[in-house]
Amino acid sequence: MKYFVASVEDRKLTADSRKALRGSFIELSDGVTHYELTGPEDGEVVLMAGGLTIPLFYWDGLVSELHARGLRTLTCSAYGRGYSDRVQARYDETLFTRQLAELTDRLGLTARPLHLVGTSMGALVSMTYAAQYRSSLSTLTIVGPAGLAKPQLTSPHRLLRNDWLADLIARRRGRQILQGHLGHNVRDPELGGKLTEMVLDAFRFEGSLYAVFDTLQHLPFTGRDDLFRRTGALGIPTLLLWGDEDDVTPLTQFDTARALLKPQKHHVINKCGHMAPYERPRDVADQLVPFVSARTERLDS
C-alpha cells in the first residue's frame, strides 16, 4: 500500500510541533520515538508494548499504580501512533521489536533485565522481542493477546493483502473503521469515550491511518499459535491476564493461550473488556507487582 495522508489528518509532527507536546523524544534508526521513562529511579523497569492504535497515554493509570508500588516504567508510542514518527516503512513485528530494542539500549536500560508487558498486538511484539532478546527479560506479562483466532477466508486481514483494495478501504473508510474498532475495546462508556478521544486526537497527524492499515497488511493477527508455543518454550517467567468480557480477543482463547505459553501465573479480571491496563489498572497492578517482585527477590538472593 502506498503512503497517503487522509483528509482528516491536519497536523504534522515536526521538531517544532513536538515542543508543545507531552513526553520525551529520541531519534532511532527508523525515526523519532515518543516515550516516557518515569517513576522511582531505583525501581525495577517495566517496559510496555501497546496495541494497534494506542498512544503511550493509554498506560497512565497503570503507570501511576506501578510508581506507587516502587516500580519504574518505560512507555512509548509505536511508530505511527501517539507522537512517534509516521515512518514510510513496513509496519510489522520486526519494526516494532527493533524500536523497543533500540529505545532500551539508547536509554541505558540493558544492564539489568527488564519486565516486559504486552497487550493485544503488543503481546505479539513482546513475544517476538522475547525470542530475540531472551537474556534481557526478567519477566513477561501478556494481556488479552491477539493472534489466537483462526484465519478466515473473508477476514479483513486477508482482504487487505491486496494493495489496491487496502488503499481504497483505508482512504475511504479508515477513520470509520477505526472508530468502530475502538468502540469494542472498553466496557465502561465513559472510559470508552475518553479512549476514542485520546486515539483520534493523535490520529490527526499525517500518516496515521496509513500506519494502521499497513500494520494490518503486514502483521498477522490470526493463526499465531507457533509464536505462543515458541514463547512458552523460552522459559521466561510469564504472567497471563485476560478480561472476562473481552470482545476483541475473547476469553474462549484463554485456555489455548495457557496451554501454549505455559505461564507461571494466570488470572481473569472480572467485569473487564479488552483493554485491562486501561480499564482496570489497579487490578492489573495487583497481579503484576507481586509477580515482578517475586522474580526480583529470587535474582537478588
- Tens digits of residue pLDDT in 79-97: 999 999 999 889 999 999 9
**Does residue 186 sit in helix, strand or coil?**
coil
**CATH number, domain with residue 239:** 3.40.50.1820
- State how beta strands 114-119 and 137-143 pair: parallel
Question: Does residue 179 surpass a pLDDT of 80?
Answer: no
Tell me the pLDDT of the chain averaged across its residues: 91
Dihedral pair phi/psi, residue 72, rounded to 5°: -100, 150
Let me know how long the chain is.
Answer: 301
Q: What percent of the chain has pLDDT over 90?
A: 75
Pick 88 or 99 by higher pLDDT: 99
Record the cell numbers describing residue 55, joined without a space: 498512544
Residue 2 lies in a domain: no
Local confidence band at 153 (pLDDT 50, 70, 90 cut-offs): very low
- Tens digits of residue pLDDT in 192-247: 889 889 988 998 999 998 999 899 889 999 999 999 999 999 999 999 999 999 99
Residue 4 lies in a domain: no
Domains contained in the chain, number: 1
- Tens digits of residue pLDDT in 32-85: 999 999 999 999 999 999 999 999 999 999 999 999 999 999 999 999 999 999
Residue 118 lies in a domain: yes
Residue 35 lies in a domain: yes
Local confidence band at 4 (pLDDT 50, 70, 90 cut-offs): confident
Question: For the chain, what percentages of helix, strand and coil (3-state, to nearest 5) are there?
Answer: 45, 15, 40
- Tens digits of residue pLDDT in 238-288: 999 999 999 999 999 999 999 999 999 999 999 999 999 999 999 999 999
Give the domain extent around 273.
Answer: 13-298
Residue 5 lies in a domain: no
CB-based contact 240:265 (threshold 8 Å): yes
Residue 6 lies in a domain: no
Q: How far apart are CA 50 and CA 56, in angstroms?
A: 8
DSSP secondary structure of 260-300:
HH--SEEEEETT--S-HHHH-HHHHHHHHHHHHHHHHHHHH
What pLDDT was estimated at residue 154? 42
Pick 12 or 299 by higher pLDDT: 12
What pLDDT was estimated at residue 189? 84
- Tens digits of residue pLDDT in 108-130: 999 999 999 999 999 999 999 99
Record the cell numbers describing residue 108, joined without a space: 541505558
List Cβ<8 Å contacts ≥24 apart for 187-190.
187/245, 187/271, 187/272, 187/273, 187/279, 188/279
